[in-house]
Chains A and B, each alone.
Chain A
Amino acid sequence: MDIDEEKDLIARLCSARQADGAFQELVDCYKERLYWHIRYLLKNHQDTDDVLQNTFIKIYRNIKKFKGDSRLYSWMYRIARNESYTFLKKRSKQLKISSEELQDHIVNNLESDVYFEGDEIKLKLQKAINTLPEKQREVFQLRYFEEMKYQDMAELLNTTEGALKSNYHHASKKVEEYLKSN
């Protein structure tokens, strides 16, 4: 969706008569991309589905507050990201464990997850990613799994391309070391 199409969609979302149709169009257009963003953070399909629903509900309720300072997708991505981290915090509180322990718990559950079809190396990769600090983990996933450009990533994460390259470089080294040593 280019900028003009995006502006047209936003105008229709803010119009009382066309809002529902426009919102369905928005969901159809972005559901898959947002799903995978959330899934890489949460790893579990059912949790991802819940958070995706909440993300779209928030987008629906707040679309009139969108000021157009950034691309629509960047704004939605930030909502999805916040919803995901909020979900993880709630889950760690429910289980009375730290966020690091929760990440271990999630990765260990992957082996028995019916929606995980990974071999040993993929499981090991997930464990390696799990050792990364939060920021590096996010950058690594966006770059490695989604092959996102640094320029787009910089807008999403509100940082510089240089900082992102540095983060990705350090993350890659750590993942490589983990895979070699385990």
Chain B
Amino acid sequence: MKNSKHISKSTGFKVPESYFEDFKLKIKDLKANQNQSGFIVPDNYFEDFKLETPKPVKVRKLYEVYKTIAVAAVLLAILGTLLLGLFRTEPDTSLNFSKLDQSDIENYLEYEIMMEDDLYVEDDNLKFNFDKENIKENTIIEDLDDSSLEQLMDY
């Protein structure tokens, strides 16, 4: 470096005599400024300071979740179809009266066929004597009481 202690000959810049010898940094003031708030920290706090970072959480994108669900649904559907195919037996379509239980036949007769008979009301009052000679015009009406007439009207 060209500079002498107190003058730079190439530029003509000077410094006061013994400036560098007397140069002192105001370290005491610097420390005083640092502590003026009164706050202190434990010994070696900054040296030992460690940031406890949380463990990184794996973020799954929403469309990936949908994609997974869709793939799982398709696979389940395929699996279900295959399982049904494996365990499914052909239905016996041939008709055979020997396979019918007696009770089934009775039930059929009772509830399916006999239901037709419900149309017929058994009432002695409704029995007619079709012997024309015995029938008089007013006799029929007299023989029928009110309840019988109502029953007939319902049917």
Point out the residues of chain A lying under 8 angstroms from B23, CB to CB.
27, 31, 52
Of B7-15, B74-82, B93-101, B114-122, which stretch is located at the interface?
Answer: B7-15
A117/B14 contact (C-beta < 8 A), A31-B20, A36-B8, A145-B2 known: yes
How far in angstroms is the closest Cβ of chain A from B29?
A: 9
A-binding residues in B (CB < 8 A): 1-3, 5, 7-8, 10-16, 20, 23, 25-27, 30, 34, 46
- A39-B13, A144-B10 are known; give 7 further A-B pairs, CB within 8 A: A23-B25, A45-B13, A56-B25, A60-B27, A118-B12, A125-B11, A147-B2
- In the docked arrangement, what's the CA distance between A146 and B26, Å? 28
Q: List 15 A-B contacts (CB under 8 A).
A: A31-B20, A32-B20, A35-B15, A36-B8, A39-B15, A45-B13, A45-B15, A57-B30, A64-B46, A114-B14, A115-B14, A115-B16, A116-B13, A117-B14, A146-B2
Main secondary structure on B side of the interface with A: loop
Q: Is A69 an interface residue (CB 8 A)?
A: no
User: Contact: B15 with A122, CB < 8 Å?
Assistant: no
Point out the residues of chain A lying under 8 angstroms from B27, CB to CB.
20, 23-24, 60
Residue of B nearest to A114 (CB): B14
Point out the residues of chain B lying under 8 angstroms from A32, CB to CB.
3, 5, 20
Residue of B nearest to A141 (CB): B11
The size class of the interface chain A forms with chain B is 20 to 34
How far in angstroms is the closest Cβ of chain A from B12?
A: 2
B-binding residues in A (CB < 8 A): 20, 23-24, 27, 31-33, 35-36, 39-40, 43, 45, 52-53, 56-57, 60-61, 64, 114-119, 122-123, 125-126, 144-147
User: Contact: B12 with A33, CB < 8 Å?
Assistant: no
How far in angstroms is the closest Cβ of chain B from A149?
A: 12
- In the docked arrangement, what's the CA distance between A27 and B24, Å? 8
Point out the residues of chain B lying under 8 angstroms from A61, CB to CB.
30, 34
